[in-house]
Structure 1
Amino acid sequence: MDDFTRRYVQAGQTSVANFLLDHFREVGMTTDQLLVYLQIRRLMDQGHPWPDAETMAEHLGWDVQRVYQVLHELIAQKLMALGSVTDAQGQQQDTYDFQLLLEKLSQVAVHERVAQEVPTTTAQPAAPAKQAESQRVAVFNQIEQEFGRPLSPIEMETINDWLKQDHYQPELIQLALKESVLNQVYNLKYMDRILGNWEKKNLRTAAQVQQERARQADRQAPKAGAPGNGGDSTIPDVPIFKLTD
């Protein structure tokens, strides 16, 4: 056996479903996302349940930030989730879970069967859905830009939970990010406390937060002719949220 044949055999092979290759665009997966998926599957097949972004970036010829960007896109689009597996020593290890991708592919199969059974009219592009997805991706990008670093997979999952489970609007998350930056605090825990306090006040949109600020400013503004009111402009504005440990 020559050297090339030996190395070829030792490198092993990664099995990829042809159904995925045929329909990856129909579930919203881009070519870059497919490439990252293939790298993850390859490394997982080689015994690495938690492939690191640096290794993937090296094999793809990308910078690490681009890999992180694609990873959080996969999570945001519900094509991948974070999970855990038990190793041979009985310890839990983080891993990437593609059950959500399989579920979306199964829906494609159902739609194909229905399309064969029932004639359908020409469908119009789901513009609102595409716009919402674009806004969600913008949230991830803006947080990374303000933090000055790529987001970790755990941070991506946290942001995705804000959007999907807590149903915070992208504009509200961006406003919480602005509050964090103004206070020079660059972590999601701080933003989560801001969002939680707004939710307690039933402020669910950026417009409602701005309206509440305006009402609070009116209450704190000095009244003309009020006795003992010197109009001291040195009194700072009180934020509308209270952060507690």
Structure 2
Amino acid sequence: MDRKISPHSALVDVLQQGSISFPVLLFTEYKRLGLNEGQVMLLLHILLFNEKEGITFPTISQLEERMSVKGDRIIQWLQVLVRKGFLSIEETLDDGGLRSEQYSSAPLLQQLAASYLDRESIKPDDTVEEAYDNLFQLFEREFGRPLSPMECETLTQWLDEDGHPEVLIVAALREAVFCGKLSCRYIDRILLEWQRNGIQTPEEAVEYSRKFRQSGILYQSDPIRRKGERSEEFSLYNWVKQGS
């Protein structure tokens, strides 16, 4: 006859199963990123399957068993998460040549980081000299190296000749970091696009960029322009098909 387990012992057994690691920023930033509670819970279940059970591509049936919504709603949420760049589906190849698919949460982490960093800006009460110093230091920190003379000249031109506010230059830098295209040439494309569309605040810039990212669009850079020149004919965006 099996010995009865006390509620306390049973709870201890459950707690000993461990926990999963998840980004705390998911709870503080998901609303800002346009995620709802159901989509966040779906992300957590996918993380759980991967981390605790070794299932990198849970089926709709497996997810449905643990959630209070039907499979068609889960499919809809998955499509949104992939299309808006919170999840990606990657193909893997094992030693035996067998192909399989798995979910990757790396895009989610990138979006969370970008959302958090978008909150940072140069303090409005900085002097002009301090603002310049802060901006140059921020670029060098993100680039991971000292800026070249040409890059320094480009930053000065953005401020003095083009009249871009420091906070928008910082926002454009964050956008370039998120897109994985860290160059002054790419940031220049972003600033030009925002200027042409009347973007004046970091909040407007974040919303504008998010709209295009969620549509599967990336800024498209062009060859380096000569000093004082801007190409009037260029492709601003590269349409990218997002898997669903």
Coarse TM-score class (shorter-chain normalised)? 0.3 to 0.5
TM-score by length of 2: 0.46
Q: Larger radius of gyration, structure 1 or 2?
A: 1
Structure with the higher helix share, 1 or 2? 1
Give TM-score, length-normalised by structure 1. 0.46
